[in-house]
Amino acid sequence: MAHGPSSSFKNPVVNWLDQRLPIFTMIQKEYGVFPTPRNFNYFWNFGAIAMIMLVTMIVSGIVLAMHYTPNTNLAFNSVERIMRDVNFGWLIRYIHMNGASFFFIAVYIHIFRGLYYGSYKKPRELLWMIGVVIFLLMMATAFMGYVLPWGQMSFWGATVITNLFSALPLVGQDIVTLLWGGFSVDNPTLNRFFALHYLLPFVIAAVVFLHVAALHVTGSNNPLGVEPKGPQDTLPFHPYYTVKDSFGTVVYLAIFAAFVFYAPNFFGEPDNYIQANPMVTPPHIVPEWYFLPYYAILRSITFDISIPFTGLKLIEAKLGGVIAMFGSIAILFILPWLDTSPVRSARFRPIFKKGILAFLVAFFLLMYVGAQTADAAWHLGGLEIPLVYVGQFATLVYFGFFLSLPFVGLIEKPLPLPASIAKPVLGGGASAAGATAKPMEKA
Amino acid sequence: MADTTQTAGHGPGSGSHSGGDPSRRDFIYLAAAATGVVGAAVTVWPFIDSLNPAADTLALASTDVDLAPVQVGQSITVTWRGKPVFIRHRTPEEIKSATDVNVSELRDPQKDADRAKKPEWLVVVGICTHLGCIPLGQKNSDPRGEYGGWFCPCHGSVYDTSGRIRKGPAPRNLEVPSYAFKTDTSIRIG
């Protein structure tokens, strides 16, 4: 670190501070001159956008907490009071409500970018795994936050999800009672969910710090997946990417604002404007849209897993569903070791490219299936296809994508990689306008 | 499996201490670590257990129900521990269809006689054993599934007139709470 008078800023106050705590030196090094690959496309905006959404959620959430009452008799009405009586309460709540969705949209694109361009590969395995931890923390936070308004979907969503743990053998029911603090989702549950919903975003912020710290050790990946070979391949982060990130963020926030002001309940469920009633289950329980794919995977395991011919049941359907659902996230942790190909970017991996597009289709298919009722079906002419089968097929593709990676890496013949980042940009003739594509593989 | 366990167990245990006094210092390390682990567990437990049901929650654990006004074929729902309990005054046909079942074919084999203390009264917790929704079937106009009991709209589990799982994803029969007949027409649940 900086020893004594090594820092030299023009402003004497900044200089005085920096010699005692080199925070300005650090900012200069990590965000000023930090060498960043010159060929980022707009996919690389979404880390910064996700960070902005996290700050938006924390700020709006702290203000909401000042008006909210975590008690089963008062919670629903306190949210309605925020909407009707608190000055700008409607705006702050709609920002928080839609902010959750837009946080997830940004993070899903960010994760997909990491998948597509192989950002999880050596040396960025730990960076990737820390990211998966952030994703899990986000899911827990979002789930508990959705319970707080104490509407029908809040209550029954909480009931269904906490009941997942009852599928665990032996200790399942005790764990559920421990989560509830009673014999059903009730006041103790609401209180602890509020406490944790307030805590976890700060834990997320801390893990995001680790995520960024790890990123600044390895440096960013880029659309070509080729490491920068020297200064000709990089640009200083400021002003090039501060400007690019700012532009992307403004566009994203404009879309966000359009939803907040013109379609604030687009992502919501009408049933959540009915106060929670433990005696009446809504006819159709759906989680928030960002959980739908996992919910569909959960519901796709409708069969027990037994040892053939003995009738010995190994895993009940219910436990199997829970394992598959958690497994669908857990598999991301081992992804860096599942993928045996040394080539990062899908641009140069013909088989992987098809696989990841199939994966993307399966993901949206699961999202669709998760939103339908359990007994829904497609009618194609006279043919009836129960959506359970569609979900099972998509689940198969989801896991198949990951589990096939070791073999894809072995049989795939990657396209020739560019010698460096600067080469395809400068050496490809006059058409190399952007930092995006290598001319020979436009297809 | 057995081989690996043995090798792993033998390695450090078979006296391969490298250098130094193996006896007293090792003992101090182990004893200190063990005390630390016990201390940590003792410290953590009150915090975990504080999340379990509190005394006042447990105190609300029994409910008295008067069955006299419930007509044959009628069902009522009462609250016990914050959960719905279904009490159905079963018709002779419903009792017959519950007892006429080949128990060994059921997913969760149980005889009707083991589930109802008096055949005309069925008392079950009205929570689907799949993921905790409340099944339909308490009103005669509700869908009751093809076995005349209850139908869970969330994921399509079907229960018979003894509250036993017959179809769908739920693994177990509807739970029978502990209850006792105080008189012929009143029960205490819990």
Domain identity same for A272 and A334 = no
Q: Which of residues 106-135 of B touch A (CB under 8 A)?
A: 130-134
Task: Give the ipTM of the model, two decimals please.
Answer: 0.71
Residues of chain B found within 8 Å of residue A186, distances taken between Cβ atoms: 57, 82
Domain identity same for A409 and A281 = no
Per-residue pLDDT in tens (0 to 9) along chain A, 443 residues: 444 445 688 999 999 999 999 999 999 999 999 999 999 999 999 999 999 999 999 999 999 999 999 999 999 999 999 999 999 999 999 999 999 999 999 999 999 999 999 999 999 999 999 999 999 999 999 999 999 999 999 999 999 889 888 888 889 889 999 999 988 899 999 999 999 999 999 999 999 999 999 999 999 999 999 999 999 999 999 999 999 999 999 999 999 999 999 999 999 999 999 999 988 888 788 899 999 999 999 989 878 777 777 667 778 778 888 999 999 999 999 999 999 999 999 999 999 999 999 999 999 999 999 999 877 888 887 888 889 899 999 999 999 999 999 999 999 999 999 989 988 656 554 443 444 444 444 44
Domain identity same for A143 and A214 = yes
The answer to the question of residue A141 being in a domain is: yes
> Under an 8 A CB cutoff, do B77 and A279 touch?
yes
Residues of chain A found within 8 Å of residue B53, distances taken between Cβ atoms: 177, 180-183, 188
Domain map (residue ranges) of chain B? 23-52, 57-189
Phi-psi region of B79 (alpha: psi -120 to 50; beta: other; left: phi over 0): beta
Write out the two tokens for B177. 């709470």
- Any known ligand binding at A211? yes
Q: So what's the pLDDT on residue B19?
A: 56
pLDDT at B61 over 80: no
Listing DSSP states for B5-39 in one string gives: HHHHHHHHHTS---SS-SSHHHHHHHHHHHHHHHH
Using CA atoms in the order A114, A120, A124, A128, what is the torsion angle rounded to 10 degrees? 80
Domain identity same for A223 and A305 = no
Domain identity same for A91 and A210 = yes
Domain identity same for A255 and A207 = yes
Domain identity same for A106 and A148 = yes
Question: Which residue is listed with tokens 């936070």?
Answer: A141
Q: How many residues does chain A have?
A: 443
The answer to the question of residue A353 being in a domain is: yes
> Under an 8 A CB cutoff, do B154 and A321 touch?
no
- Domain B57-189 sits in which CATH superfamily? Rieske [2Fe-2S] iron-sulphur domain (2.102.10.10)
Continuous H helices in A280-386: 292-300, 317-338, 350-371
The answer to the question of residue A244 being in a domain is: yes
Write out the two tokens for A431. 């058409």
Distance from C-alpha of A146 to C-alpha of A160, rounded to nearest angstrom: 13
| A30, A34, A221, A241, A435 from A237: Cα distances, Å | 8, 5, 14, 5, 16
Q: Which residues pair with B180 in a beta bridge?
A: B188
The answer to the question of residue A20 being in a domain is: no
The answer to the question of residue A441 being in a domain is: no
Continuous H helices in chain B: 2-13, 24-49, 55-59, 92-99
Domain identity same for A276 and A324 = no
Domain identity same for A266 and A352 = no
Domain identity same for A179 and A127 = yes
Q: In what order do the strands lie in the sheet with B83-89?
A: B75-80, B83-89, B121-125
Phi then psi dihedrals of residue B142, to 5 deg: -70, 155
Domains identified in chain A, total number? 2
Domain identity same for A335 and A214 = no
Domain of A98: which CATH number?
Answer: 1.20.810.10
Domain identity same for A184 and A85 = yes
pLDDT at B54 over 60: yes
The answer to the question of residue A362 being in a domain is: yes
Predicted TM-score of the model (pTM): 0.85
Q: Which domain holds residue A228?
A: 41-285
Looking at chain A, which residue has its C-alpha nearest residue B167? A302
Residues of chain B found within 8 Å of residue A297, distances taken between Cβ atoms: none
Q: Which of residues 168-187 of B touch A (CB under 8 A)?
A: 169-171
Span B21-28, mean pLDDT?
Answer: 83
Active-site amino acid positions of A: 216, 220, 244-245, 288
